[in-house]
Amino acid sequence: MGVRSISDRWTREKGAGAMVLALLCVVAIAWMQRAGWLDGLNVGLMGAAGEARDSAWGGPSIALMRLATAIGDTIGRLAILAVVFPLLLWGRRRADALWLALMMAGGTALNLILKQIFAAPRPDLLPHLDIVQSYSFPSGHAAGNMMLFGALAMLAGRRSVYWAAGVMIALIGISRVWLGVHWPSDVMAGWVTGFGWLLLCRVWLPARRG
């Protein structure tokens, strides 16, 4: 077996290990949430968001968080992909476009499956400022945008894009708590799920290995 084959195998094993670790972390977060161990964190942070919503600058903050949620919603992600795919194809990066499509489709399906498995209700501490109809755990916004913006940063390969992606991922996740539709632990689990899936796809999908 050549050195490259050993290296590829080791890389794939690390990718699979990252996904397994991510799922274990999600299960642990779900267990701690149901056991009440995260009540202090969840209620404290969402309560602080509620106080900020009622403050003098609550109106502009809510508008910003609604904008962030809209960008990170399914329609927003599809709109971003509708711009990115033609650019990749125009730049003759068909393998990257295929990888991005498969990664996002698989990750979205994974999040929906996890939501059905845990079947966690939405928080009711604050009035919801966004329309929600699905289960709460893990956050689809957090997972989906960790995958999307993380993937775009990987494809761009620039430090500035990584920083911008990090800001968007954080802002969209915070917006879900700010609008009262997710506990912070929901968002945390979504980030972990999305990051694990992104690392797995980075080394396992045939369209773009390594």
Position 158 in a domain: yes
Q: Are the CB atoms for 50 and 118 separated by under 8 Å? A: no
Task: Kindly report the length of the chain.
Answer: 210
The answer to whether residue 79 scores a pLDDT higher than 50 is yes
How many domains is the chain partitioned into structurally? 1
Position 209 in a domain: no
Q: Are the CB atoms for 66 and 130 separated by under 8 Å? A: yes
Average pLDDT over residues 144-169: 96
pLDDT tier for residue 9 given thresholds of 50, 70 and 90: low
Confidence at residue 155, expressed as pLDDT on a 0 to 100 scale: 93
Establish whether the linkage from the previous residue to 138 is cis, with ω within 30° of 0: yes
Position 210 in a domain: no
The answer to whether residue 206 scores a pLDDT higher than 70 is no
Q: Are the CB atoms for 131 and 155 separated by under 8 Å? A: no
User: Which tokens hold the place of 168?
Assistant: 């968007």
Position 126 in a domain: yes
First to last CA, the chain: 19
Q: Give the structural domain span for 39.
A: 3-204
Q: Which residue do the tokens 């809209």 mark?
A: 70
Confidence at residue 6, expressed as pLDDT on a 0 to 100 scale: 44
Q: Which residue do the tokens 């602080």 mark?
A: 48
Position 187 in a domain: yes
Confidence (pTM) = 0.91
Position 110 in a domain: yes
Average pLDDT over residues 182-208: 89
Q: 94-118 and 184-204 are packed helices; what angle lies between their axes, rounded to 10 degrees?
A: 140
The answer to whether residue 3 scores a pLDDT higher than 50 is no
Query: What is the rounded CA–CA span in Å between residue 9 and residue 165?
Result: 29
Position 59 in a domain: yes
The answer to whether residue 14 scores a pLDDT higher than 90 is no
How does the average pLDDT of the chain come out, rounded?
Answer: 91
User: Which tokens hold the place of 53?
Assistant: 């919503």
Give the model confidence (pLDDT) of 128-150 as tens digits: 999 998 999 999 999 999 999 99
Confidence at residue 1, expressed as pLDDT on a 0 to 100 scale: 46
Position 148 in a domain: yes
